[in-house]
Amino acid sequence: MERRLRSDAQNSVSSIDILKEVEKVKVVVDVVDWRFYSTGVCICLLNLVAAWDATSLSVVLPIIASDLGGSAVQSIWLVLSFLLAAAVCSPLFATLSTIFGRKPLLLTALTLLTCGSFITAVSGRLAGLHLGRTVQGMGAGGIAILSSLIVSDLASAEDRRKWTGILGTMWAIGAVTGPMIGDGLANRSMFRWVFWINLPFCLIAFLILPFFAQLKSASPGAMLPKLKNVDWLGFFLLSGSLVSVLLGLTAAGTNYSWSSFRTILPLQFGCIGLVIFVTWSWFSPFASMISIRGLDITTLITSFCSLVLGTIVFAVLYFLPLYFIVAKPNHSLVGAGIRLLPTTMPLAFFSLLTFFLLNKTKYIRPAIWTAWVLVLISVSLMVLFTRKSGSVVWALAFFSGSGVGVLYPSLHMSSHLTTPEAVDPTTTVTNFTFAQFLGQTFGVAFGFAIFQNEFLTNLTKEESFEYYITSYVQHSTALVTKIPRGEDGSNAAAMADIFVNSLRPVWIVMAAFAGLALVASAFMKEKEVAQSVVPDLNVDQAYVV
């Protein structure tokens, strides 16, 4: 009898111990889940802010140019300085995050974004705005690349797929709401709130990330030798070459003729620098920040499609508002962002829809092909836009927005699925993010150069503007706000026609890019989702997101 009682007591104690262990595991999982989702939400908000910074100036830029007396080139560099800084700094953040860990670099990027927003908001001169936008871009590039790397660190392939689609959707939503925010603040007294609006979100991130985010730690080993192995020469070659090319491209036909040495020299030095960068990256003893070694054709095509998508989207976002401002009845700057809704609303809707459908069906290639067809057709038909175009404008805007909305999550998911097993996922993520920002930079730069040169050509054909050609071309951004509504035959109507006709070559070039991406995507191969890997849970050592 005593033995039975003793045995029952031991069993009871053993059951209690098991229950205690189960409760401990439940607590651990709850803590991990809470930190996981709070960090994930915070990162999504920061990506939304970065998307706002990239897109909100599409409507506000003419107001800034008019208020501060900036030329067309000075104004467009408020956009290019942000995008170019994001493009060239994203690979550097990826490299340094393996040395110092994800969390310190994420907080550094957040600090840069916050400081850049503050500098831009308080600056009263274009030089200060350019400085602030450059610092902003550095932070935005760091946030974008580190967000993707943090997602690639997740153990489960399904989780990586899901969170990658969410990040793509956040950028799509930012593309919708950014111009609307700019539209609501598009007047001389409030446009600085486009930059102030970032600070509350940055403050929330500062309150959450330092204390609750558990991210991948630094790689083992001394830091100084690893810093010496960073490809610093490649970084400066790439940055300087791209700046040189863009300086020549934006000045050509606006400030100087194409035959001027002030145009030719920057373009030549930039192109030679890019050739040297590629050669150095291939033969350098250091690991290149941008590398294609070991990548298969599908991975390369995904990055190329990301570059083309960024080019087309930002050309449309920054030059379609010009059409709405000068061509539509009762035009005014306030309302241009609202007129982008037929493009941006389906973009957000189809981005969310694609995200949910691809998580169920996993048919990424057909989604990409269908989307490129929609983009190609809609952008091609934009060539038919005139000052008097009616409802067809909204239909084309709807189809282009739908195609872009499908492409954002599709390409983001494809970038994670197509990485060969022998290649570090960091390489694929870095290439994809760099291509995305570089494409956005090219979209604005190419669109500006094409528009400015065609604008100059069309102005020379109109005798009534003969004495004002140079002034109009050099201040075309501010000129948008000063064109009054006019009847047929008036100078105002003639100027509106010149603006609209000058946009046609932009749409032709973007349609050619879309066609090239459609052909390239036909060579993509379907990849299966890898099996999930579930590691042992160790709260003291594990990183949550």
Q: What is the 3-state secondary structure (H, E, C) of 296-311?
A: CHHHHHHHHHHHHHHH
374 and 257, same domain (yes or no): no
Q: For residues 177 and 197, what is the distance between their CA atoms, to the nearest angstrom?
A: 13
388 and 248, same domain (yes or no): no
Query: At 542, which helix (H) or strand (E)?
Result: none
pLDDT at position 489 over 70: no
Q: For residues 326 and 482, what is the distance between their CA atoms, to the nearest angstrom?
A: 10
- Out of 3-12, 50-59, 162-171, 177-186, least confident range: 3-12
152 and 85, same domain (yes or no): yes
Averaged pLDDT of the chain: 80
Q: Which amino acid is present at 353?
A: L
Which tops the pLDDT comparison, 115 or 255? 115
Look at residue 321 in the predicted model and tell me its pLDDT: 80
Give 225's contacts (C-beta < 8 A, 6+ positions apart): none
Look at residue 7 in the predicted model and tell me its pLDDT: 52
Tell me the C-alpha to C-alpha distance, in Å, between residue 456 and each of 251, 256, 450, 469: 13, 12, 10, 7
Domain contains 428: yes
Angle between helices 364-381 and 297-327 (to 10 degrees): 30
Look at residue 336 in the predicted model and tell me its pLDDT: 60
453 and 333, same domain (yes or no): yes
Domain contains 491: yes
Domain contains 9: no
- Out of 48-62, 338-352, 482-496, least confident range: 482-496
160 and 300, same domain (yes or no): yes
Domain contains 537: no
pLDDT at position 139 over 60: yes
Q: For residues 254 and 290, what is the distance between their CA atoms, to the nearest angstrom?
A: 33
Query: At 62, which helix (H) or strand (E)?
Result: helix 57-68
163 and 265, same domain (yes or no): no
Token pair, residue 129, equals: 């705005």
Domain contains 543: no
Cβ–Cβ < 8 Å for 338, 391: no
Give me the CATH number covering residue 346: 1.20.1250.20
Instruction: Say what the pTM is.
Output: 0.85
Q: For residues 375 and 515, what is the distance between their CA atoms, to the nearest angstrom?
A: 9
335 and 437, same domain (yes or no): yes
417 and 308, same domain (yes or no): yes
Residue 190 is classified by DSSP as T
Residue 467 is classified by DSSP as G
Q: Which amino acid is present at 451?
A: F
Partnered with residue 252 across adjacent β-strands are: 256
- Out of 174-183, 243-252, 502-511, least confident range: 174-183
In which residue are the tokens 């091609």 written?
A: 380
Q: For residues 462 and 468, what is the distance between their CA atoms, to the nearest angstrom?
A: 11
Domain contains 456: yes
Give the domain range for residue 267: 231-285
Domain count across the chain: 2
What single string gives the DSSP state of each residue in 289-349? SS--TT--HHHHHHHHHHHHHHHHHHHHHHHHHHHHHHHSTT--STTHHHHTHHHHHHHHH
- Out of 8-12, 226-230, 449-453, least confident range: 8-12
Look at residue 320 in the predicted model and tell me its pLDDT: 84
3-state SS, residue 252: strand
Which of 350, 306, 239, 327 has the alpha carbon at shortest distance from 524? 306
Measured in whole angstroms, the distance separating CA 198 from the mean position of its chain's CA atoms is 16
Which tops the pLDDT comparison, 269 or 421? 269
Which of 108, 95, 107, 99 has the alpha carbon at shortest distance from 218? 99
268 and 314, same domain (yes or no): no
Indicate the pLDDT class of residue 18, thresholds 50, 70 and 90: very low
267 and 119, same domain (yes or no): no
Domain contains 490: yes
Partnered with residue 230 across adjacent β-strands are: 287
Which tops the pLDDT comparison, 208 or 389? 208
pLDDT at position 275 over 80: yes
Give 357's contacts (C-beta < 8 A, 6+ positions apart): 367
Tally Cβ neighbours within 10 Å of residue 5: 9
Cβ–Cβ < 8 Å for 452, 470: no
Look at residue 485 in the predicted model and tell me its pLDDT: 61
pLDDT at position 270 over 70: yes
39 and 158, same domain (yes or no): yes
414 and 311, same domain (yes or no): yes
Tell me which of 244, 268, 285 is where a domain ends: 285
Look at residue 155 in the predicted model and tell me its pLDDT: 57
Look at residue 419 in the predicted model and tell me its pLDDT: 57
Domain contains 3: no
